[in-house]
Structure 1
């Protein structure tokens, strides 16, 4: 299980404008990821939050790019892709990952990476921030994005 050695990140998000882009596939898992992200934003003091739902993980980058262009201080991208019996998994994971990386590097706006790429649904449930989950990747994506905002401002 991942998570071993993860840092503890706590940052002040007061005054930041954050957009959360969340896929619709795998409702229970996505509800957990989105719930964790929203809790983390509230705990960090972020009050200017926009949540945008998109059909799937493939659509995360285009909406993240628009949010960055429209003035978000940070974007948090949440999705889940479960491996199946076709190469679809590889294509969607690579396209979403590269797309989100491209958004961050081209715009200079941090993108919290909350895209679960898992072999089966149980692995996703273990990371979704639900009761009984071992990890909360939605919250972790928020923490990473907010910490990166502060790191960039410190340069």
Structure 2
């Protein structure tokens, strides 16, 4: 993690927005916590409705994010991909990032990328928003995507 350039978005006023959260089941103990942190961020931002969906792995996140984007003002995708000994890590990360970006642009709905792409379980734990984590990607990705939805709403005003 770079540790510099963080916009330090604690909360935004997202009252009236509907948020979709999709999380993978791989590394569920971390993703479960990230989902709870995303829900807490949504509540802190005044979101009144949160829809949560789960999928098997990170590759499935974009298609469910797309379905959520058709019902929600913003979507956050959460997962953990840890590098192993093969190139599978690269293909999964490329597919997830491209898919989430495509959904966001095609559906004109912001999709937050909260998928941890790390070298080790320790790095994932450092970013999962646990009591001893240095980062909280569930919270951060949620606030960032709500901020983007608000920016789109502002731009759309006549």
TM-score (norm 2): 0.94
- Contact kept, 8 Å, 1:20 with 1:52, in 2: the verdict is yes
**Is 1:51 paired with 2:52?**
yes
What is the CA RMSD across the aligned residues, in angstroms?
A: 1.0
Residue matched to 2:109: 109
Structure 2 alignment gaps of length 5 or more: none
Cα deviation for residue 66 of structure 1 reads 0.8
Shift of 1:31: 2.0
SS of residue in 2 equivalent to 1:154: helix
Counterpart position of 1:99: 99
- Deviation, structure 1 residue 38: 1.1
Give runs of aligned pairs for residues 8-23 of structure 1, distance below 5 A.
Answer: 8-9=8-9, 10-23=11-24
CA contact (8 A) 1:21 1:53 kept: yes
> Deviation above 6 Å: which 4+ runs of structure 1?
none
Matched, 1:79 2:79: yes
So what's the TM-score if we normalise by structure 1?
A: 0.96
Equivalent runs, 1:30-45 vs 2, <5 Å? 30-45=31-46
Contact 2:14 2:150 in 1 (8 A): no
SS in 1 for 2:61: helix
Is the 2:126–2:132 Cα contact (8 Å) retained in structure 1?
A: yes
CA distance in 2, matches of 1:103, 1:152: 16
Residues 103-123 of structure 1 deviation map (CA, whole Å, 9 limit, x = unaligned): 001111000110100000000
Unpaired runs of 5+ residues, structure 1, are none
